[in-house]
């Protein structure tokens, strides 16, 4: 699919040394070794190892002093006959940045969203060409690199949900910023990285796993956030088997809305938040989904196991406001229907009302008058659950208040954040 574009424009002899397609599993195994999964990152690495090694072995002695070698490989599951399963693939390029230097590598994962295999082949070829071109011409600008991946494609044909640079020549690239840029540029709805800062492919990280998700700005991370997770963990364990508990994953999600400052994203600010969450051992998800029903739909794409979204009483109240469902024909009711379509529950953390001095929980929370019966229905059917608070004093601080303390100077804020 990719090499075909080079042949179309001719003069490819100076660029393409070899092309190969190994569709049969036995042929593929004979070249790259046996694999438990053929459309996987590990399979892509086996292909790159073999093909790049062969390229250097055969052309290195004669051309190595003046040529920068590269190998491009992909492994893809495309649309088959009467097929409705997920179509996706791994693409990678291993390349030298200068002649006679160790190679670097760029790997991405994409979802193919076209309905026909012919259209998917077209999209796959274009992304492959774009990846190779960007690897040589846009590697100094992450934004240009990411946005060029979709050149020649209209929106909605592919989703690139993981991008990773590796190798000594790319040591200046922070792959967490790759995850951020994919979301910021609209190539995916969400991207992830783990506590070590390694970017993750969502299907691999979330597939068939119970998910406990905490949404927030995390600017800064507070002891309150850790208590929300701890209290939710206790309740979540009651709706899972021991086996499910072993597979469960905790995720801290930051939406793009919480990263914007004067319409732009401050990369330093983002990395500070990421560093803090990683230091606490958390997996981080960056999303474009301000609406709760959208993040629930995203998570449900990868798992049929229980999903719990942690929020405060204040955010629960926001869900009953029409502004979060303006684009839905069914309004607020449809947004709740989408939110709870699968095995999703809301775990709601108490709030201290400073005016009445009352501790507000899901049991005494007053939903808007015209939604009170609906709220009771959700409560009685376990869609909304109450979680406790370990130390009520934590309720006196919010991230916004903590930032004001930090900006004012002094050390008062330190007692509200984890050590």
- Tell me the pLDDT tens digit for each residue of 58-71: 999 999 999 999 99
Residues 236 and 338 in one domain: yes
Instruction: State the chain's mean pLDDT as an integer.
Output: 94
- Tell me the pLDDT tens digit for each residue of 278-337: 999 999 999 999 999 999 999 999 999 999 999 999 999 999 999 989 999 999 999 999
Residues 232 and 314 in one domain: yes
Residues 25 and 105 in one domain: yes
Residue 185 lies in a domain: no
**What is the rounded CA–CA span in Å between residue 39 and residue 44?**
8
DSSP 3-state of 107: strand
Q: Is 283 exposed, middle or buried, given 0-12, 13-18 or 19+ CB atoms closer than 10 A?
A: buried
At residue 22, the pLDDT reads 80
At residue 284, the pLDDT reads 97
Residue 87 lies in a domain: yes
Tokens of 314: 């204040």
At residue 85, the pLDDT reads 83
Beta carbons of 273 and 280 less than 8 angstroms apart:
no
**Which residues, listed in sequence order, are joined to residue 347 by a DSSP beta bridge?**
310, 385
Residue 144: pLDDT band (50, 70, 90) is very high
Residue 88 lies in a domain: yes
Residues 163 and 251 in one domain: no
Question: For the CA atoms of the chain, what is the radius of gyration?
Answer: 24
Tokens of 99: 């002649």
Residues 385 and 247 in one domain: yes
* Higher pLDDT among residues 9 and 371, named by residue: 371
Beta carbons of 328 and 336 less than 8 angstroms apart:
no
Residue listed under structure tokens 């046996």 = 34
At residue 347, the pLDDT reads 98
Total count of residues recorded for the chain = 419
Percent of the chain with pLDDT over 70: 100
pTM of the model: 0.93
Residue 192 lies in a domain: no
Residue 76: pLDDT band (50, 70, 90) is very high
- Tell me the pLDDT tens digit for each residue of 171-182: 999 999 999 999
Residue 261: pLDDT band (50, 70, 90) is confident
At residue 419, the pLDDT reads 86
Tokens of 345: 């529950």
Residue 194 lies in a domain: no
Residues 73 and 152 in one domain: yes
Residues 282 and 328 in one domain: yes
Q: In the chain, what is the straight-line distance between the N-terminal and C-terminal CA atoms, in Å?
A: 52
| CATH number, domain containing residue 308 | 3.40.50.620
Residue 190 lies in a domain: no
- Tell me the pLDDT tens digit for each residue of 146-199: 999 999 999 999 999 999 999 999 999 999 999 999 999 999 999 999 999 999
Peptide bond just before 220 cis, omega within 30 deg: yes
Residue 369 pLDDT exceeds 90: yes
Residue 263 pLDDT exceeds 80: no
**What is the rounded CA–CA span in Å between residue 360 and residue 343?**
26
- Structural domain containing residue 338: 204-416
Residue 82 pLDDT exceeds 80: no
Residue 345 lies in a domain: yes
**What is the rounded CA–CA span in Å between residue 218 and residue 276?**
9
Q: Which residue, 125, 154, 173, sits at the end of a domain? A: 173
How many domains does the chain contain in total? 2
Question: What pairing do the DSSP bridges indicate for beta strands 344-349 and 307-312?
Answer: parallel
**Which residues, listed in sequence order, are joined to residue 77 by a DSSP beta bridge?**
88
Average pLDDT (359-374) is 95
Residue 11 pLDDT exceeds 80: no
Residues 394 and 267 in one domain: yes
- Which runs of consecutive H residues, i.e. helices, occur in 283-328? 292-300, 313-318
**What is the rounded CA–CA span in Å between residue 9 and residue 128?**
15
Residue 361 lies in a domain: yes
Residues 98 and 246 in one domain: no
Percent of the chain with pLDDT over 90: 83
Q: Which residue, 151, 173, 195, sits at the end of a domain? A: 173
Q: Rounded to the nearest 10 degrees, what angle do helices 267-279 and 175-184 cross at?
A: 120
Residues 240 and 132 in one domain: no
Identify the sign of the CA torsion 347, 353, 356, 357: positive
DSSP string, 188-215: -SEEEE-TTS-EE-HHHHHTT--EEEEE
Average pLDDT (113-133) is 95
Residues 150 and 21 in one domain: yes
Residues 274 and 337 in one domain: yes
């Amino acid at each position: 699919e990719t090499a075909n574009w080079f042949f179309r424009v001719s003069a490819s002899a100076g660029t393409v040394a070899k092309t190969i397609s190994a569709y049969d599993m036995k042929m593929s195994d004979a070249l790259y070794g046996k694999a438990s999964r053929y459309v996987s990152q590990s399979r892509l690495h086996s292909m790159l190892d073999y093909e790049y090694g062969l390229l250097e072995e055969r052309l290195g002695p004669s051309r190595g002093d003046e040529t920068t070698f590269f190998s491009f490989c992909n492994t893809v599951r495309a649309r088959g006959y009467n097929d409705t399963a997920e179509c996706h693939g791994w693409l990678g390029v291993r390349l030298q940045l200068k002649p006679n230097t160790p190679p670097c590598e760029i790997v991405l994962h994409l979802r193919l969203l076209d309905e026909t295999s012919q259209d998917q082949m077209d999209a796959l070829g274009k992304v492959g060409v774009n990846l190779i071109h960007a690897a040589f011409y846009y590697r100094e600008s992450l934004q240009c690199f990411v946005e060029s991946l979709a050149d020649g494609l209209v929106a909605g044909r592919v989703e690139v949900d993981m991008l990773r640079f590796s190798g000594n020549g790319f040591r200046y690239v922070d792959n967490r910023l790759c995850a951020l840029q994919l979301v910021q540029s609209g190539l995916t709805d969400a991207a992830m990285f783990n506590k070590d800062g390694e970017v993750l492919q969502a299907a691999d990280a979330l597939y068939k796993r119970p998910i406990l998700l905490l949404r927030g700005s995390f600017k800064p991370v507070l002891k309150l956030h850790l208590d929300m997770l701890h209290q939710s963990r206790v309740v979540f364990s009651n709706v899972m088997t021991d086996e499910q508990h072993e597979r469960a994953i905790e995720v801290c999600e930051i939406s793009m809305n919480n990263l914007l400052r004067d319409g732009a994203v401050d990369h330093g600010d983002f990395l500070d938040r990421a560093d803090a969450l990683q230091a606490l051992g958390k997996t981080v998800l960056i999303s474009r989904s301000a609406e709760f029903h959208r993040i629930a739909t995203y998570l449900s794409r990868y798992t049929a196991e229980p999903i719990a979204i942690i929020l405060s009483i204040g955010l629960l109240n926001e869900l009953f406001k029409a502004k979060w469902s303006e684009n839905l024909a069914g309004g607020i009711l449809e947004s709740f229907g989408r939110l709870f379509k699968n095995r999703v529950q809301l775990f709601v953390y108490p709030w201290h009302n400073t005016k009445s001095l009352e501790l507000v929980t899901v049991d005494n929370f007053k939903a808007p008058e015209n939604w009170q019966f609906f709220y009771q229905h959700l409560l009685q059917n376990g869609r909304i659950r109450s979680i406790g608070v370990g130390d009520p004093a934590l309720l006196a601080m919010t991230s916004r208040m903590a930032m004001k303390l930090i900006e004012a100077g002094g050390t008062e804020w330190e007692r509200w954040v984890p050590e």
